[in-house]
Structure 1
Amino acid sequence: MKKHILLLTLAFAAIVTSCKEEKEATQMKEVIAVHDEVMPKMGQLGQLVGKLKERENDSTDLGKEYREARIDLQEANQAMMDWMQNFGDRFSPDEIMKGKELSPEKQEWLDEEEEKVKALREQINSSIENAQEVLAVDNDTTS
């Protein structure tokens, strides 16, 4: 009877540990997926910075909008670079790529990083959208 209880306890502990590791691995994959979603947009972001820079010497209100949109894009770019640096400093390649189990402290960090990368995605997407809108206004007025 005691052996059965011990076996059941060990089995339960193994299941709980497995579920915890799966949650961590899944969450890490989700964080990386958000990064992978926005990383290809960095080239587009750079192109938009170039287009806005060419036009921002305009002394009208539109010139001011160009500058503001360029600054937003550059801040989004810097936020991406900072996030990647910080993320790489916090987690080892094995934790990121191979699903190595995280300590309780690192699990808290992963929770933080998940929120940060989602905010980063919003910052990048909104800055690109805003820049495209500003440039579209310019195209509409010059057509």
Structure 2
Amino acid sequence: MKYLTVMIVALMAAACSPKKQQTEEKPPADLKTQVMAVHDEVMPKMGELRTTQKELLAMADSSATDSVMAAKYQELATQIELANESMMDWMRKFNPNFEGSEEEVKAYLQDQLKGIKKVSDDMNNSLKAGREALED
């Protein structure tokens, strides 16, 4: 009977421990999910960015006699390149396994969320502007 009581107490303690850890990790895990959701939303656009950039550069070359249009296409291609580079830079620096106190992890993930949202905005805006210029 004594052995059974000790075993039940040990099982209850073990069952409660993981739940406590999950509760403590929930805010950072939610932030990590948000960070990855923004990344996963814009990452597939990388190919479209490169294609649009190539088209803009081709238009810049073919508009050599019209220096204003050539400069416009070149500038839009440069904006796309910068947006692409910011994504690559963010991915190189992002550490999905960042460790620290709960506050440090939360601060890191909040910073990363802010960063990837900026990358997303840059990518979407430069892509939109490039497409619009090609349609004109």
TM-score normalized by the length of structure 1: 0.73
Is residue 24–residue 102 contact of structure 1 (8 Å, CA) maintained in 2? no
In 1, the alpha carbon distance for the partners of 2:38 and 2:90 equals 12
Q: Does 1:87 align with 2:89?
A: no
Matched with 1:69 is: 76
Unaligned stretches of 5+ residues in structure 2: 1-15
More displaced 10-residue stretch of structure 1: 48-57 or 36-45: 48-57
Q: Does 1:131 align with 2:135?
A: no
Unaligned stretches of 5+ residues in structure 1: 1-10, 96-100, 138-143
**SS in structure 1 of the partner of residue 94 of structure 2:** helix
C-alpha root-mean-square deviation of aligned residues, in Å? Answer: 1.9
Matched with 2:10 is: none
Which one has a bigger Cα radius of gyration? 2
Question: How many angstroms does 1:45 deviate by?
Answer: 0.2
Question: How many angstroms does 1:64 deviate by?
Answer: 1.1
Matched with 1:141 is: none
Matched with 1:42 is: 46
Q: Which runs of 4+ in 1 moved over 4 A?
A: none
Q: Does 1:26 align with 2:30?
A: yes
1:131 corresponds to which letter in structure 2?
G
Aligned residues: 115
CA deviations 1:72-111 (Å, max 9, x no partner) are 00000000000001103xx42xx6xxxxx75232321111
2:134 corresponds to which letter in structure 1?
L
In 2, the alpha carbon distance for the partners of 1:49 and 1:123 equals 14
TM-score normalized by the length of structure 2: 0.76
